[in-house]
Amino acid sequence: MKVLDLQCPMGHRFEGWFSSENDFAQQLNRGLLECPFCASKDIHKCLSAPRLNLGAHKPAESPSQSPAVQAGDAMPSTLHGGSDAIQALQRAWLEIAKAVVRNTTDVGEHFADEARKMHYGEKPVAAIRGQASAEQVHALWDEGVEVLPLPIPDGLKNDLH
């Protein structure tokens, strides 16, 4: 099993698990890979160190033995997988997106019409999601309909497990 660090042009980093390097290349060429954050299909591998299981771990150094590091000595986050804060935000965003999918009904391209009907009392209010153009969203906002654009990649819309 190969675990690869992947990234889209927006800088979103994520992991992909593949049976081989060839499996990764085939899925990439067939357009099967997409960023779980923005749905971009422009994915590339990041540099990463292999993980080797060589036995027992070295004991941790005591603080007096640890080398001093200045802020200027740190590697940029884009070179070592992103900061912990960015990774935590990405995990939180994925959990929110999954919760939205679990707790809403997909009305597809009828989103603007359905939201408008609920707003004007023509239909009971319900938690929905779907597709709307930027123009449709702005029109809904102008009418006082409270909607929130939230891009959800196709991979999150269905339960894969």
- Label residue 17 by pLDDT band (50, 70, 90): confident
The answer as to whether 16 is a domain residue is yes
Q: How many domains would you assign to the chain?
A: 2
Say if CB 43 and CB 28 are below 8 A apart: yes
Same domain, 161 and 105: yes
CA dihedral 25, 15, 128, 10 (to 10 degrees): -80
| pTM passes above 0.85 | no
Closest C-alpha to 155, from 31, 46, 48, 44: 31
The answer as to whether 68 is a domain residue is no
The answer as to whether 60 is a domain residue is no
The predicted model gives 53-72 an average pLDDT of 45
The answer as to whether 91 is a domain residue is no
29/33 Cα distance (integer angstroms): 9
What percent of the chain has pLDDT above 90? Answer: 32
Instruction: Check whether 155 has a pLDDT greater than 90.
Output: no
Q: Which amino acid is at 42?
A: D
The answer as to whether 140 is a domain residue is yes
In angstroms, the Cα distances linking 53 to 1, 4, 50, 98 are 14, 17, 10, 33
- Domain range spanning residue 120? 98-161
| Structure confidence by residue, pLDDT tens digits, 65-119 | 333 333 333 333 343 445 777 778 878 888 888 888 889 999 999 999 999 999 9
pLDDT given at position 141: 93
The answer as to whether 64 is a domain residue is no
Instruction: Check whether 48 has a pLDDT greater than 50.
Output: yes
The answer as to whether 77 is a domain residue is no
pLDDT given at position 97: 85
Neighbours of 142 (CB within 10 A): 8
Which residues, in sequence order, are CB contacts of 47 under 8 Å at separation 6+? 5, 79
The answer as to whether 63 is a domain residue is no
